[in-house]
Copies of this chain bind each other. A is one copy, B any other.
Amino acid sequence: MIGIFDSGLGGLTAYKELHALLPAGDFVYFGDTGRVPYGSRSREILTRYARQDIRFLLRQGADVILAACGTVSSVVLDDIKSEFSIPLFGVVDASVNAALAATKNEKIGVIGTGATISSGAFAKKIAAANPHAAVTSIACPLFVPLVENGYIGRGCTVTREVAADYLAPLRDEGIDTLILGCTHFPIIADIIGDLLPGVTLVNSGAAAAAEVAAVCGKTSGSGSASFFVSDSPVNFDTVARVFLGGETIRAQKVDIEAY
């Protein structure tokens, strides 16, 4: 059973990729909608939340877990990995590898939440793998609320203007590759791509999904999927459809503070 968690529903973009790669796999997804957003929280709080999220998925029977959350992957995952006996993946390593493979001019951009960018996790791992690479990292704290409130689609002038503010330094640096270091960001990849023509966008959730699928290659299950959230699942369907592109799913509520 493959466990996937995120601060909210952005991680469903990674679930969608992984499910496409492993259609016979069994999945359990947890979205921490009762404590979203993670991107503005401190390391201390994020560590507690990530441990609880992982313990919940273990209790559901997960034997491999993907932290489909750029913030958790960047800020706490390396510190707590050794506490658990199952393979625990984040979105940083796979997308760093994908970006290094894609770049030609060794100028790489990273965008993510405030906590992700403050952690410097992406930049450090890129530097460790290729000391010649120049990394420009920009926090984009409004992208998550804009996506969650439906300010998406190529014609959305509000998100386009916010994105133009955030992305201007990346254009000035002449990057040729950009890591979307938050699983919400692929939803507005069209707007980001328009503002950075010729730049290769690395979807961190998709890169991590490919890495997990490679490890789970021989796994075949019953093709089941269950979804859990930590606040009322009333509007879950509506928002989930944004991330899954039409598929309707049901979620159950869990008291995550009990884990």
Contact = CB atoms under 8 A, between A and B. Distances in A.
Q: How large is the interface on A (under 10, 10 to 19, 20 to 34, 35 or more residues)?
A: 20 to 34
A44 B232 contact: yes
Nearest to A165: B158
A153 interface: no
A173 interface: no
A56 B203 CA distance: 43
Nearest to A8: B40
Nearest to A146: B142
A231 B149 contact: no
Interface in A20-49: 34-36, 40-42, 44-45
Contacts of A232: 42, 44
A40 B42 CA distance: 21
Contact of A161 (B40, B44, B158): B158
Interface in A135-186: 141-142, 145-146, 149, 151, 157-158, 161-162
Contact of A35 (B35, B151, B234): B35
Given A145-B145, A161-B157, A45 B34 contact: yes
A34 to B, nearest CB: 6
A70 to B, nearest CB: 17
Tell which of A36, A44, A158 has the most Cβ of chain B within 10 Å. Answer: A158
Tell which of A34, A145, A157, A231 has the most Cβ of chain B within 10 Å. Answer: A145
A141 B144 CA distance: 12
A257 interface: yes
Tell which of A35, A149, A157, A232 has the most Cβ of chain B within 10 Å. Answer: A149
A146 B159 CA distance: 12
A236 to B, nearest CB: 12
A41 B42 CA distance: 20
A41 B34 contact: yes
A232 B149 CA distance: 27
Contacts of A146: 142
Given A34-B41, A35-B35, A157-B161, 7 more contacts: A42-B231, A141-B149, A142-B145, A142-B151, A158-B158, A158-B162, A161-B161
Interface of A: 34-36, 40-42, 44-45, 141-142, 145-146, 149, 151, 157-158, 161-162, 231-232, 234, 257
